[in-house]
Structure 1
Amino acid sequence: MAALDDLRIRLDEIDGQIVRLYEERMKVCEEVGELKVKSWGRVLDRQRERNKLNDVASRVSNDFNRKGIQELYEQLMSMSRKLQYQQMVEAGALGRLPFIGIDSLEKDTARVVYQGVEGAYGQAAMLKFFGEGCNNFHVRTFRDAMEAIEDGAADYAVLPIENSSAGAVTEVYDLLVEFENYIVGETILPVRHTLAGLPGTDLNQIRRVYSKAEALMQTTRFLSDHPDWEQISVVNTAVAAKKILEDKDSTQAAVCSAYAAQVHGLSVLVDEINDDSNNSTRFIVVTNQKVFLKDASKISICFEVPHQSGSLYRLLSHFIYNDLNMSRIESRPVEGKSWEYRFFVDFDGNMGDAAVKNTIRGLREEAINLKILGNY
């Protein structure tokens, strides 16, 4: 039996040959890429790749090696494609991305819409981003807000996209796919829930508590200390505050922000009742124009993947290869396609960056229904 050191020497020799052959293979792939650039041909040829995988699998001696050689060649072909995507981008084959870079948003003259009523967290996020004097109005639903900017009734909409404890606002993700509206900004708002009621209300009087379902969930510990209180869900925390004012019933209270309590003339009965003291919500600023700030540093996209093993892994490898940091990935079911999913990805970058262009080129060829949701 050969000594371990001898076997390692043989492996080193084989690895040296593999490295040499890998570079030789990539050189040929580069020449293939040059021909594709001249003919503006597609990089990905799915049928040829399937044929190649079947061919190399037929040349090995057992099932274990068959699986391994197919995995190896999937990686080799993936690297070849990435090289050729880079060649295409450098030759201008990607073309201009359909977004226009701008220096700033027109905050002073913009008309802004938010979901909810006065006192809503959405209003607070809007004022934080656009300033106290912005021209604004509110609508009942997230869909109404998206329709307002699509129709031109508003220039921008401010919508929640995720909460640090409750997770994604799935309806907004779905609306980003449905509407041709795009993200141009974001702001993060700390969420500080209070229990608010009519002035002079005593906790012992309370029988019913109103709020948005997520806000009730985010204050479970406090509310569980009062098992006799009936918890009733409404569309918005500010709607809950408004109801308390309108009903003028001291047996009712609302879980809402201190700002909503102030707007609707309520007293804060108990402050800071969040389960998580670091709770916050990320809001996005959306418009119907394909624009992005020239100093933008985050990109949001969505895409579907082929319904086959390894599809998501191969697509995400474009971010790895181009050294782009993904900050979030979320999945949503694709309507009308059982057990198939659309993926939403946030990653660092600007649409002017070469690495971003390389990634977008690769994703466009290999993903299904790629959509750039915004650069902000």
Structure 2
Amino acid sequence: MNDMLKLRNEIDEVDKKLKELFEYRMDLVLKIAEYKKKNGIPVYDPAREEEKLSQLKNSLADKKNADAVVELFSQIMAISRRAQYAAINSADDLGFTAVDEFEAGDDTVIAYYGETGSFTEQAMLEYFDGKGKGIPMGTFEEVMEALKNNKADYGVLPIENSSTGTLSDIFDLLAEYDNYIIGEHVVAINHILWGLPDAELSDIKRVYSHRQGLLQCSNFLKKYPHWELVEGGSTAGAAKKVSMENDITQAAIASRRAGETYGLKILKPSIHNEEHNQTRFIIISNKRNYIRNAKRISICFVLPHKSGALYHMLSHFIHNNINLTKIESRPIKGQAFRYRFFIDFEGSLEDLEVKNALLSIKKEALEMKILGSYVPVPNSN
């Protein structure tokens, strides 16, 4: 026991010296930050860090500690970079403007995915309190294009369902287009099987719906393996198709509003898998604005293809005490096995900690985009 106490005392002495040396090192780090700021030198110098780690690794007397030393000094360098970013970035602008509210009047044009009667139209009407002029779009990309070409003031798109997860196409479009999330809205989804007024369930041979509609009703559809399932367009578009083609063997999975709009008959109500089926919709704009009390931020970034890149990027959130609510990855078009990361987190673009984290990520990632800041719907992720 005495030997153990002696060894622990020696470790305590070593730790005391390490602490003193660490504090001295951080003082030097901040002096270097001042020099970099004055002379316009970037904080992150990956070549210098790799050279330093290589020197430390090669100078070790006991090579079995090589990996541990590289890990230790990688962390010290990451801590040093964050301290320099905090010293340099304190007053930097993220390029977004705070507004008190987003208004919609009679002349406001809102592009939404789907036909009249779609769940997306419902989200639009509820979010904007029935104001504005909605224009239906046949694809997600058409909504983005309408904003890009100033043919619409706002856009509304589905982005996530409680049972089937995220709509990956939307993530890709958010990264590609210069449009931004300004709000979100959640709609309770009640899928109904609709047919022509004279149709019965036994008449049906083909069912139309959006891919998400078919997925969210998969358990019900498995009971009818002889039915042909056809993906295409929105759920409301499927209801419109069944109505226009006037074929008694065809049915559509769509909302109550869509079925009633196109004069169809309920063949089977509430056929979705999950009892509490909900879809989250995003409201987008081509302007870099956000509501002043917004407390959620979405971003995406691309990382260097090397070990520990994501770990070090996420450390900027940890260091600034920021809570992540979602992280997903999507393959980058035209780049095999390369990925773009999408992250949602809590905070305001006006918070110094958020500014520090975002500007740090921007300088270390290959590319980074703030997708928007918005007021989250309670309990949405």
Aligned residue in 2 for 1:290: 288
Q: Deviations over 1:319-370 (max 9, x none)?
A: 1110111111121122232211111111111111101110112111100111
- Counterpart residue type for residue 43 of structure 2: V
What SS does the aligned partner of 1:250 have? coil
Aligned residue in 1 for 2:108: 110
Would the aligned equivalents of 2:242 and 2:252 in 1 still touch at CA under 8 Å? yes
* RMSD of aligned alpha carbons: 1.7
- Describe how 1:118-157 pairs up with structure 2 within 5 A: 118-157=116-155
Aligned residue in 1 for 2:263: 265
Separation in structure 2 between the aligned mates of residue 206 and residue 140 of structure 1, nearest angstrom: 26
What SS does the aligned partner of 2:44 have? coil
Q: 1:271 to 1:7 in 2, by over 3 A?
A: farther
Q: Which stretch shifts more, 305-314 or 225-234?
A: 225-234
Q: Deviations over 1:189-208 (max 9, x none)?
A: 22221111122432222222
Q: Which stretch shifts more, 60-69 or 231-240?
A: 60-69
CA shift, 1:19, in A, is 2.1
The answer as to 2:76 corresponding to 1:76 is: yes
* Equivalent position to 2:201, from 194, 200, 203: 203
- Counterpart residue type for residue 127 of structure 2: F
Q: Which stretch shifts more, 226-235 or 284-293?
A: 226-235
- Describe how 1:232-271 pairs up with structure 2 within 5 A: 232-271=230-269
Aligned residue in 1 for 2:299: 301
Task: Show structure 1 runs of 5+ residues with no match.
Answer: none
What SS does the aligned partner of 2:311 have? helix
TM-score by length of 2: 0.93
Separation in structure 1 between the aligned mates of residue 248 and residue 9 of structure 2, nearest angstrom: 84
Q: Which stretch shifts more, 183-192 or 226-235?
A: 226-235
Aligned residue in 2 for 1:357: 355
Alignment identity in percent? 40
- Counterpart residue type for residue 211 of structure 1: S
Number of residues of Structure 1 aligned to a counterpart in Structure 2: 373
Q: Deviations over 1:30-57 (max 9, x none)?
A: 2222222332321111121111101111
Runs of 4+ in 1 over 4 A off after TM superposition: none
* Equivalent position to 1:161, from 156, 159, 162: 159
CA shift, 1:20, in A, is 2.3
Q: Deviations over 1:165-224 (max 9, x none)?
A: 222222221112221111111111222211111224322222221111221121111111
Aligned residue in 2 for 1:50: 50
What SS does the aligned partner of 1:54 have? helix
Task: Show structure 2 runs of 5+ residues with no match.
Answer: 375-381
Aligned residue in 2 for 1:100: 97
Aligned residue in 2 for 1:311: 309
CA shift, 1:2, in A, is 7.4
Separation in structure 2 between the aligned mates of residue 5 and residue 252 of structure 1, nearest angstrom: 82
What SS does the aligned partner of 2:370 have? strand
Q: Deviations over 1:277-318 (max 9, x none)?
A: 222221111111111111111111111100111111111110
The answer as to 2:5 corresponding to 1:8 is: no
- Describe how 1:167-182 pairs up with structure 2 within 5 A: 167-182=165-180
The answer as to 2:61 corresponding to 1:61 is: yes
Separation in structure 2 between the aligned mates of residue 229 and residue 338 of structure 1, nearest angstrom: 37
Aligned residue in 1 for 2:377: none
The answer as to 2:38 corresponding to 1:31 is: no
